[in-house]
Amino acid sequence: MERTLNIDEIKKLYPDEWILLGNPVWDEANLVVLSGIPLYHSRDKKEVCYLGRDKTAGYDKISMIYTGVFKSIRKITGIFNQVKQ
């Protein structure tokens, strides 16, 4: 696919995936990607990094985004709860 898609189209086509974008357009004020050319996509971030690398030739800028929602970070428990002062 060699056409520029906006972020809503990208999220609809590739839900919960890592996307490598060529020539991304950024909203400088909010630091979010508005559109770009999808070069490679996968649920595996490392796959996008390594296998997508060959597809970046000829692009001025490259960016990688995640179209899903990050899970919350678990609280650290264990021995810290047992330490009494």
pLDDT averaged per 10 residues, the chain (length 85)? 89 96 92 95 96 93 93 67 55
Alpha carbon distance 77, 74 (integer Å): 9
- CA-nearest of 60, 11, 16 to 38 is 11
Q: Is 33 exposed, middle or buried (0-12, 13-18, 19+ CB in 10 A)?
A: middle
Q: Where are the domains of the chain?
A: 5-82
pLDDT of residue 28: 85
Please report the pLDDT score of residue 85 as a whole number. 53
Surface-to-core class of residue 39, CB atoms within 10 Å of its CB (0-12 exposed, 13-18 middle, 19+ buried): buried
- Cα atoms in the 13 Å half-sphere on the side-chain side of 24: 20
